[in-house]
Amino acid sequence: MQCLSSKMQQNLKRQKLRKRSKREREREREMKNSLVFSLISLIGLSGFVGVLCQGGALCNNFYETSCPLAEHIVQSITWTYVASNFTLPAKFLRMHFHDCFVRGCDGSVLLDSTANNSAEKEAIPNQSLAGFDVIDEIKSKLEETCPGVVSCADILALVARDSVSFQFGKPLWEVPTGRRDGTISRASEALANIPSPFFNFTTLKQSFANKGLTVQDLVVLSGGHTIGVGHCNFFSNRLYNFTGKGDADPSLNSTYADFLKTKCQSLSDNTTIVEMDPGSSLSFDNNYFTILKQNEGLFQSDAALLTDQGSSNIVDEMLNSKTFFTEFRQSMVRMGTIEVLTGSAGEIRKKCTVINS
């Protein structure tokens, strides 16, 4: 009986092992099937990245499925123009900045005035903007390729990045996309929101804070003045009538002031232009901070960065080229997300100069 009992026990053990082994095999198959299904789901969903990130946030490669060549088209046309006109990067960087500070990065700066409305383009800070024809050409090409898909707001954000990046042959910062276009553009709002070259530090800080940007962003983004030019009427008061008594700004390097007087010979000169970063205004680098430390910042708003200890310390940090490029990359991404329209807000304009209806 004991022998039989022992055999029976062995048989029971073998049966249990077979059952367990069968259950384990079934569980393994279930896990494999689940994994395969998950992978298939991820692969399938990745094709709809634009749809998935439309819910209120921007994302990289938003047009991956809806218009796969979008970013290539933007870069190709932009680089073609920049190759023959090295002044364009500064113009597009400024245009993007001015767009984002008024109603967010919604392409409203691109809209033309109408019989009943004076658009942002007409505001004094925007009257010297240029490069709109390049934006229009890019939009026209994208409408041919994938109609009604790519927003003017995204085009402007990409063009700003690609134009500045041309000299390096690679993108300097990420541009998450998925912005939609605004339908309102008012000159009065541009004048009220775009930081003035006459601002002191307190006003500059508040202007940036109103857009969710920090003092760090203020200083770093001011580094964009390393390329481009300024019109005499935006700084000549520092040469001839700083306090209304026919005096010069004492914070301006006297040798530099004498040089500027040879360019801007009166307070009434509103056509002459001067490099913001003398001798280096076509090269995107951190030289702006070097001349700033020498009291050669062109605008009062440049000099203002040295009047606050915190911002002055950040200026010192930006003297390191690697630090500047890293910080500029991050600040540009933050600026490019100011009050963006996503999802079903706004529209995708057929033409960047006019709303759809």
| Binding residue ranges for substrate | 195
**Annotated catalytic residue, options 72, 96, 98, 231:** 98
Burial string for 125-136 (b: 16+ CB within 10 Å, else e) reads bbeebebbebbb
DSSP 311-336: HHHHHHHTTSHHHHHHHHHHHHHHHT
Helices 321-335 and 215-222, axial angle in degrees (round to 10): 110
For residue 150, the surrounding DSSP H or E stretch is none
273-275/229-231 β-pairing = antiparallel
Contact 93, 176 (CB under 8 A): no
Contact 311, 221 (CB under 8 A): no
Eight-class DSSP state of 283: S
Q: Is 98 a catalytic residue?
A: yes
- How long a stretch of residues is the chain? 357
Q: Per the annotation, where are the binding residues?
A: 99, 102, 104, 106, 108, 120, 195, 225-226, 277, 285
Structure tokens given for 218: 């203020």
Contacts of 121 (CB under 8 A, 6+ apart): 109, 111, 112, 113, 127, 129, 185, 187
Task: Give which of 98, 117, 118, 94 is closest to 107, Cα–Cα.
Answer: 98
CA 68 to mean position of chain CA atoms:
21
CA separation for the pair 350, 357 (Å, rounded): 10
Instruction: State the number of CA atoms in the 13 A half-sphere of 110 facing the CB.
Output: 32
Q: Per the annotation, where are the binding residues for Ca(2+)?
A: 99, 102, 104, 106, 108, 120, 226, 277, 285
CA separation for the pair 173, 207 (Å, rounded): 24
Task: Give which of 144, 173, 58, 155 is closest to 107, Cα–Cα.
Answer: 155
Q: Which residues are catalytic?
A: 98
